[in-house]
């Protein structure tokens, strides 16, 4: 089996150049060391709307991301939806809501975005699917857009 390195002599040292990444080394290295780095993890900031269960019901989501609940963490119960939206925009937080019909008209391009949670899903399923979605995508994927968690599940199954 041929190594993915080309040999060359530079000054008095023999060097090897990786064919995959063009890195120079004094010793031939395994091609597995030339794999690209995984994409950087982005820690999303999220805001749970009043209709969504408190963040303690979402252990995976709560462990990996900065999660705040509008009622239980911020003590802003009964805040009108436009004010909840403006709060989320000012804190650069994704809105996680079951109340999509009221939030969708408020969406702007400069906002962090909205993720719609199906009302019939149990908290354990929301926790798993939402954590997976946020782990897969950075902030640009959500910025100024509405994403349905149910629709995201369908597209990931099709792929």
Position 110 scores a pLDDT of 86
Closest CA to 13 of 29, 30, 27, 33: 27
Tell me whether residue 36 is in a domain: no
Does residue 38 lie in a domain region?
Answer: no
In a domain, 34, yes or no: no
The residues pairing with 46 across neighbouring beta strands, listed in sequence order, are: 67, 94
Helix (H, G, I), strand (E, B) or coil at 139: helix
Q: Which class for 34: exposed (0-12), middle (13-18), buried (19 or more C-beta within 10 A)? A: middle
pLDDT at 5: 46
Same domain, 136 and 99: yes
Token digits of residue 49: 């709307």
Average pLDDT over residues 12-38: 61
Q: How many domains does the chain have?
A: 2
Q: Are residues 82 and 123 in the same domain?
A: yes
Domain with 25, as residue range(s), is 5-29
User: How confident is the model at residue 152, as a pLDDT?
Assistant: 75
Q: 140 and 66 share a domain?
A: yes
Confidence of residue 42 (pLDDT cuts 50, 70, 90): confident
60 plus 19 within the same structural domain: no
Lowest pLDDT segment from 32-36, 43-47, 98-102, 121-125: 32-36
pLDDT for 118? 94
Does pLDDT of 54 surpass 90? yes
58 and 125: one domain? yes
Residue 144 lies in a domain: yes
Same domain? 74 vs 17: no
Instruction: Give the rounded percent of residues in the chain with a pLDDT score beyond 90.
Output: 60
The candidate with the shortest Cα–Cα distance to 47, out of 12, 97, 98, is 97
Helices within the chain (DSSP H only): 59-64, 81-90, 100-103, 123-136, 139-142, 149-158
Q: What is the pLDDT of residues 57-74, one digit of tens each?
A: 999 999 999 999 999 999
Q: Do residues 131 and 63 share a domain?
A: yes
Same domain, 89 and 113: yes
Query: How far is residue 100 CA from its own chain's centroid?
Result: 20
Stretch among 27-36, 92-101, 126-135 having the lowest mean pLDDT: 27-36
Q: Are residues 18 and 70 in the same domain?
A: no
């Amino acid at each position: 089996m041929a190594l993915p390195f080309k040999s060359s002599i530079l000054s008095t040292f023999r060097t090897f150049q990786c064919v995959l990444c063009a890195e120079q080394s004094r010793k031939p290295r395994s091609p597995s060391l030339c794999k690209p780095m995984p994409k950087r993890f982005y820690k999303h900031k999220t805001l749970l709307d009043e209709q969504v269960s408190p963040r303690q019901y979402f252990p995976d989501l709560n462990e990996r991301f900065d999660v705040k609940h509008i009622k239980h963490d911020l003590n802003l119960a009964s805040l009108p939806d436009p004010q909840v939206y403006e709060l989320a925009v000012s804190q650069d937080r994704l809105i996680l809501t079951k109340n999509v019909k009221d939030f969708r008209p408020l969406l702007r391009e400069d906002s962090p975005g909205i993720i719609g949670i199906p009302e019939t899903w149990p908290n354990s399923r929301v926790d798993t699917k939402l954590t997976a979605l946020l782990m897969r995508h950075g902030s640009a994927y959500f910025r100024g857009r509405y994403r349905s968690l149910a629709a995201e599940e369908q597209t990931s199954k099709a792929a």
